[in-house]
Amino acid sequence: MIIQNQQKRIVAVHDLSCIGRVSLMAVVPILTTMGLQVCPLPTALLSCHTQFPEYTFVDLTDEMKRIVENWKRQRLHFHAFYTGYLGSPEQVQVVKDLLHDFKHEEDLVVVDPVLGDNGSLYKGMSPQMVEEMRELVRHANVISPNMTEMFFLLDEQYRSGTIDDRDLKSYLHELSTFGPEIVIVTSVPVEDNPHMTSVYAYNRIDGRYWKVTCPFLPAHYPGTGDAFTSVITGSLMQGDSLPVAIDRATQFILQGIRATFGYDYNNMEGIMLEKVLHNLDSPIQVSTYELI
Ligand code: PXL
């Protein structure tokens, strides 16, 4: 019997921010812990993420092209592709070329359309990046915008208050018409309850909508969206159903926030992933998803 290499490989297209536990510094440890081989395709190199008061930034667009060309010559094969923070709008074309050259029918493509939070774009993000991201989500199986990114993708005015299930379902459905089978929207406020927050998900293939609600702690930590989508990706690649994947990701983020919240701490450093990564080894104990 020949023992085959069954290890699944995933290309992770994100920046490397040296401080702050965002992007690759969340994606790599999480997906590695979940049993995948991560192959980073770094989009930019930053001294720290862009929510710090100052940072250095090197755009890696040209180097990405060289890396992909090199991979092509070596006829490498990957099982999944996962993109997040891009360093320039031009990188959308690099990702589309990567998918064209390497993606097989059965491979998973996850696009986290990282653009902004709390109603505005991150520093350095341009309207051109929004347009390009709208194009990139067409090539994804799964997308995971937060509320801000959802409204930018839909080209709608940002709404900060609560939104009823009917409206949210129509937003998710509209995003799915761009192309992705699965749309997951995070950080949705819960009506009349500032202590809770929800994640909504829609599967266009079976037409079902899901919701997971969990406690909201009053603190903002950059990188939780990256950690969330990484767990979703790992979970789906392990064969979990969509509601179980959103349950696992939501619970992991809550564990990370709880592990961090009690310290007198600069929240810009992100959640203390090191303290909770081991939880990804075990299945969740209690499921809280609802079909809506
Ligand atoms: O977590 C999103 C993110 C990723 N990468 C960089 C960022 C941010 C959010 O601020 O600045 C460089």
Taking only the tens place, the pLDDT of each residue in 112-163 is: 999 999 999 999 999 999 999 999 999 999 999 999 999 999 999 999 888 9
Domain boundaries in the chain? 9-291
Residue located nearest, by CA, to atom 8 of ligand 1: 49
Contacts of 100 (CB under 8 A, 6+ apart): none
**Residue among 236, 240, 248 nearest 280 (CA):** 248
Cα distance between residue 253 and residue 87, in whole Å: 25
Side chain identity, residue 160:
S
Pocket-forming residues, ligand 1, beta carbon under 6 Å: 15, 17, 22-23, 46, 49-51, 85, 114, 122, 222-223, 225-226
Residue 2 has pLDDT above 80, yes or no: no
User: What does the DSSP 8-state code read for residue 3?
Assistant: P
Please choose from 21, 85, 226 the residue to mutate so as to test ligand 1's pocket, defined by most ligand atoms within 8 A of CB. 85
Q: 177-218: per-residue pLDDT in tens?
A: 999 999 999 999 998 898 999 999 999 999 999 999 998 888
Mean pLDDT of all residues belonging to the chain:
96
Query: Is 287's pLDDT higher than 90?
Result: no
Q: Report the DSSP beta bridge partners of residue 200.
A: 185, 211
Using alpha carbons only, how large is the chain's radius of gyration in Å?
Answer: 18
pTM passes above 0.85: yes
pLDDT digits (tens, 9 = 90+) for 224-259: 999 999 999 999 999 999 999 999 999 999 999 999
Q: At what angle do helices 91-102 and 61-73 cross, to 10 degrees?
A: 10
Residue 39 — φ and ψ, nearest 5°? -115, 100
Fold of 9-291: UDP-N-acetylmuramoyl-L-alanine:D-glutamate ligase (3.40.1190)
Choose the residue to mutate in 49, 133, 224 for probing ligand 1, maximizing ligand atoms within 8 Å of C-beta.
49
d(CA 228, CA 112): 10
pLDDT band at residue 262 using 50, 70 and 90 as cut-offs: very high
Q: How many CA atoms lie within 13 A of 217 on its CB side?
A: 17
Does pLDDT of 1 surpass 80? no
pLDDT tier for residue 82 given thresholds of 50, 70 and 90: very high
